[in-house]
Amino acid sequence: MRTSMRVAITGVGVVNAGIVGDSAALAAFLAAPRPAPGVGAGGVARVPSSALAGAIDVAEARRLSRVCQLSIAAAKLAVAESGVDAARGLGLVVGTEFGDLASTHVFADGFLERGPSGLSPLLFPNTVMNTMAATTAIAVGARELALTLNAPTVAGELAVARAAAAIASGQAPAVLAGGVDEIDPVVERALPALGFAADRLGEGAAFLMLEAYEIAQARGATILGQVAAAAWRSLPARPWGVGRRRRSRAIHTVLERAGIDAAHLGAVYSSASGDRRRDAWEAAVLAAALGPEAPPAATLARLLGRHAGLGVLRVAAAAWTARSGLLPAATEPSTVMTRVWPRPGLVHGLGRGGAHVALVVAGA
Amino acid sequence: MRRVVVTGLGAVTPHGIGVKAYWSGLASGACAIRPLSVIETDGFRCRIGGEVPEMVGGSTRRTRADRFALAAAEEALSDAGLGAGERDEAALVVGAVGGGMLEAEEWYWAASRGGDARLVPAVRSVLPCAHADTLAGRLRVRGPRHTVVTACSSGAVAVAEAATLIAEGVVDVAVAGGVDSITRICFMGFNALKLLDLAPCRPFDRDRRGMSIGEGAGFLVLEEAAAARARGARVYAELAGHGMTTDAYHITAPEPEGDGMVRAIRAALRAARVSPTAVTYVNAHGTGTPQNDRVEARALERVFGEGALLVSSTKSMIGHTMAAAGSLEAIATVLALGHGVVPPTANLETPDPDVHFDCVPRTPRDATLDCAISNSFGFGGQNVTLLFRRR
């Protein structure tokens, strides 16, 4: 879908192991980054209960699963910062890799322990992956399109790309784009067996308020950045596998649409997360697309752990980098900062199985 | 605006494998809701559903749902006559809910009882996006790919998403549809919510008691109209418009006045530049629950008024096939337009006096149809309307 119309970012909401807050909290973290507790090969950077409790109303939280709480808390932060009135038309696109598997297990355990009488009708809706979008739509009053997108690794980037396309094609004047995941104990046990032992995993949610630039400007909103172009494609790979093809139609498309060549990108935010085979494939794809003049690259997975929210957070971070000319370095120690040209940057995601997303993100 | 047409259809349903078996069942008003055999039902009140009666071919290492999806998508691609080059550029959008949950449940049940169970295959296949990854690799469809999960409207949303990709000029061709196999979680969940009828469901009947679950896959090939014409493709119908809205009201119950449904239907009419009077058939969401059918009828009345509109429910014959429902009902709508035959609402004995439409009880109806809509609604108030026009 086209993003010929300029898409503004007017609000940010983040709840993860290292950040709770809006764009100011994200900027403070990026300016002095440090790894969140728990992040590292084979570990999970979890959101502390105290952080989540402080981000969501107690009465509201009582009715919600934890992953829905994460989603609503981050979404409300983004809405509040943007000042968008949902009554004027608000859409919602949520990316997730694992959904609410935790509730699914509890629901199944009820039956396995007590038979049909152990089944909770209240839990059942949570077993469907759109539960975060459904509860978040209710919480923020989003009544236009509400999509849940499921993809390995790149669900967050995909949600932002799809939401930006919805703005560009006029499907809604404002769309809240987010990613959310929690790591269920069963998933945590399974991932090493699937070959993800070195992956840095995290959990949490991040949301961006996207609006048509002219609408945001006309209402006097603070514009934090722009999605100048977005595209998603796929590269051949077996399910959960990595492929060999390096030619990226997604990167080519976004550079062309944004009217920028690789040499003039300020920075790249990639989806590298410690999964060595996938990271190597993504590096090869980026090298083939950007050539020898590729700008410095960063990934925040070493700081916060990979989850769908991180893909969204990277878009906000790329806007911050385009404004500030600062980039958290990709290599260890991860707290080193690199100075870059304050120019539009590329946000790139390549998942196992070949799901592939690229966005060009500019400053305000 | 680029126009979108339907050039290929594929289906796996409780009526059998293939579009021919599906239409044969629909056009004869046959009800394929029977006692379930794919899962254990001991101890539950409701023990029936729409089960695919024969297993499709393909590797038994694939999940049941993946095999449904592969068979239906392959049929649609073959029906459209798409070559390798067109497949390489085509978008793939899949609506899914259960993913490989049926097989993951087998692992989880066995593991919880201390049995031997292989974790990795279960986890590999459990996510809804597993279908799209399998289809893309197997069918060599390598354009934009995404998986949408909007509960019971997922299949229709996938079709709408693919239409948007074509209308916006991203691709000329897309393969889109939904898939679900019956799972224990789904069966137990709807039992726990007491939303299942003990007999085959009776949408729009005064005495309706709930829904029947089902399974299957429905895929459509959509193309940009000029590109389809240029390659001499057979065109079934035009997907002239669609509307997607959210109730933002309740996690399971529809908004009582049908506001979200009304907005979705009106958005589809607006996109297609069609007046309400041009629509003569509605393939309803029509689950058979007291609440859904009442609110859907209310929404239809608000848009179309009382009158000559024909309304029927595919779910009365194959059950609610979850993520496949929206795309299978889109196929039913396209075929109804092409054949000039409205499939009936099976099991409808005593029309609900509060539903002011002809709901085509039990017997198919010959009718000249130019425009028809297919409604799909999901948990979380996820409303979609697809509007098809005869070519």
* Residue A253 distance to chain B (closest CA, Å): 10
> Is A238 in Cβ contact with B146 (below 8 Å)?
no
Mean pLDDT computed over B10-20: 98
How far CA A298 is from CA of A314, A327, A337, B23, B61, in Å, comes to 9, 7, 10, 54, 39
- What CATH number labels B241-390? 3.40.47.10
* Residue B129 distance to chain A (closest CA, Å): 6
* Residue A148 distance to chain B (closest CA, Å): 5
Beta strand B16-17 pairing with B279-283? unpaired
Question: CA-based angle A306:A310:A313, to the nearest 5?
Answer: 160
Pick from A121-135, A164-178, B109-123, B232-246: least confident: B109-123
Cα torsion angle, B6, B7, B11, B16, sign: positive
Which residues are registered as beta bridge partners of B372? B281, B388
Which residue do the tokens 């990108």 mark? A265
- Tell me B350's DSSP state: S
Same fold, B4-230 and B241-390: yes
The pLDDT value recorded for residue A5 is 66
Question: Catalytic site residue B152?
Answer: yes
Contact residues for A175 (Cβ-Cβ < 8 A; gap 6+): A90, A91, A92, A93, A144, A145, A163, A164, A166, A167, A209, A210, A211
Phi first, then psi, for residue A269 (nearest 5°) are: -105, 115
Q: Is A71 on the interface with B (CB under 8 A)?
A: no
**Three-state SS at B173:** strand
Cα A296 to Cα A329: distance, rounded to the nearest angstrom:
8
Q: Is B266 on the interface with A (CB under 8 A)?
A: no
The pLDDT value recorded for residue B116 is 65
Residues B301-310 have pLDDT tens digits of 999 998 789 9
Question: Catalytic site residue B320?
Answer: yes
Mean pLDDT computed over A270-281: 94
Q: Which of B119, B123, B157 to mutate to test the interface with A (most CBs of A within 10 A)?
A: B123
What single string gives the DSSP state of each residue in B98-149? STTHHHHHHHHHHHHTT----HHHHHHHHSTTHHHHHHHHHHT--S-EEEE-
Nearest of B388, B343, B328 to residue B154 by alpha carbon: B328
Q: Is A130 on the interface with B (CB under 8 A)?
A: yes
**Residue A333 preceded by cis peptide, ω within 30:** yes
* Residue B91 distance to chain A (closest CA, Å): 8
> Is B137 in Cβ contact with A239 (below 8 Å)?
yes
Q: Is B59 on the interface with A (CB under 8 A)?
A: no
Cα B255 to Cα A65: distance, rounded to the nearest angstrom:
22
Catalytic residue among B15, B131, B242, B285: B285
Cα B54 to Cα B259: distance, rounded to the nearest angstrom:
40
The pLDDT value recorded for residue B181 is 98
> Is A120 in Cβ contact with B248 (below 8 Å)?
no
Residue B214 belongs to what H/E stretch? strand B213-214
- ipTM at complex level: 0.97
Cα A354 to Cα A113: distance, rounded to the nearest angstrom:
39
Residues A133-167 have pLDDT tens digits of 999 999 999 999 999 999 999 999 999 999 999 99
Question: Catalytic site residue B131?
Answer: no
Task: Say how far residue A326 (Cα) sits from the centre of its chain.
Answer: 20
Instruction: Answer for the pair B105, A199: CB distance below 8 angstroms, yes or no.
Output: no
How many beta-carbon pairs under 8 angstroms link A with B? 196
Interface of B with A in 60-99 (CB under 8 A): 92, 96-97
Interface of B with A in 242-261 (CB under 8 A): 244-252, 260
Residues A195-251 have pLDDT tens digits of 777 788 899 999 999 999 999 999 999 999 999 999 999 999 988 899 999 999 999
> Is B247 in Cβ contact with A232 (below 8 Å)?
no
pLDDT above 90 as % of chain A: 80
Interface of A with B in 80-119 (CB under 8 A): 92, 97-99, 104-105, 107-109, 111-112, 115-116, 119
The pLDDT value recorded for residue B288 is 98
Chain B residue at shortest CA distance from A230: B170
For the CA atoms of B345, B346, B351, B357, the dihedral, rounded to the nearest 10 degrees, stands at 10
Cα B96 to Cα B94: distance, rounded to the nearest angstrom:
6
The pLDDT value recorded for residue A308 is 97
The pLDDT value recorded for residue A196 is 75
Residues A169-192 have pLDDT tens digits of 999 999 999 999 999 888 887 777
How far CA A318 is from CA of A267, A322, A347, A359, A361, in Å, comes to 8, 6, 7, 10, 6
pLDDT above 70 as % of chain A: 97
> Is A354 in Cβ contact with B244 (below 8 Å)?
no
Which residues are registered as beta bridge partners of B298? none
Interface of A with B in 303-362 (CB under 8 A): 353-355
Cα B77 to Cα A283: distance, rounded to the nearest angstrom:
34
Cα B216 to Cα B196: distance, rounded to the nearest angstrom:
18
Nearest of A242, A249, A300, A271 to residue A153 by alpha carbon: A271
**Three-state SS at B162:** helix
The token pair that represents B79 in the structure block: 């029906």
B14 vs B142, more confident: B14
Q: Which of B149, B184, B257 to mutate to test the interface with A (most CBs of A within 10 A)?
A: B149
Q: Which of B63, B113, B251, B386 to mutate to test the interface with A (most CBs of A within 10 A)?
A: B251
User: Residue A221: how many CA atoms within 13 Å on its side-chain side?
Assistant: 31
Helix/strand/coil (H, E, C) string of chain A?
CCCCCCEEEEEEEEEECCCEECHHHHHHHHHCCCCCCCCCCCCEECCCHHHHHHHCCHHHHHCCCHHHHHHHHHHHHHHHHHCCCHHHCEEEEEEECCCCHHHHHHHHHHHHHHHHHHCCCCCHHHHCCCHHHHHHHHHHCCCCCEEEEECCCCHHHHHHHHHHHHHHCCCCCEEEEEEEECCCHHHHHHHHHCCCCCCCEECEEEEEEEEEHHHHHHCCCCCCEEEEEEEEEECCCCCCCCCCCCCCHHHHHHHHHHCCCHHHCCCEECCCCCCHHHHHHHHHHHHHHHHHHCCCEECCHHHHCECHHHHHHHHHHHHHHHHHCEEECCCCCCCCEEECCCCCEEEEEECCCCEEEEEEEECC
Max CA-CA distance within chain B? 61
Chain A residue at shortest CA distance from B164: A1
Q: What is the mean pLDDT of chain B?
A: 95
* Residue B347 distance to chain A (closest CA, Å): 27
Q: Domains along chain A?
A: 7-218 (3.40.47.10), 227-362 (3.40.47.10)
Q: Is B129 on the interface with A (CB under 8 A)?
A: yes
> Is B134 in Cβ contact with A150 (below 8 Å)?
no
Interface of B with A in 304-363 (CB under 8 A): none
Select B4-230's CATH number: 1.10.357.10, 3.40.47.10, 3.40.309.10, 3.30.1330.10.
3.40.47.10
A124, A150, A193 ranked by CB distance to B119: nearest: A193
Instruction: Answer for the pair B341, B366: CB distance below 8 angstroms, yes or no.
Output: yes
If 0-12 CB within 10 Å is exposed, 13-18 middle and 19+ buried, where does residue B99 land? buried
**Sheet with strand B33-35: strands edge to edge:** B33-35, B48-50, B213-214
Instruction: Answer for the pair B328, B23: CB distance below 8 angstroms, yes or no.
Output: no
- The domain spans of chain B are 4-230, 241-390
Contact residues for A42 (Cβ-Cβ < 8 A; gap 6+): A192, A197, A198, A199
Termini Cα distance of chain A: 23
The pLDDT value recorded for residue A239 is 86
* Predicted model pTM: 0.97
> Is B246 in Cβ contact with A92 (below 8 Å)?
yes
Mean pLDDT computed over A85-96: 97
Contact residues for B34 (Cβ-Cβ < 8 A; gap 6+): B14, B48, B49, B50, B51
The pLDDT value recorded for residue A2 is 52
The pLDDT value recorded for residue B203 is 98
The pLDDT value recorded for residue B390 is 96
Alpha helices for chain B (secondary structure H): 19-28, 64-80, 84-89, 101-112, 119-126, 130-139, 154-167, 184-192, 225-230, 259-272, 290-304, 315-318, 325-339
Interface of A with B in 167-186 (CB under 8 A): 169, 171, 186
The token pair that represents A169 in the structure block: 């094609």
Q: Is B119 on the interface with A (CB under 8 A)?
A: yes
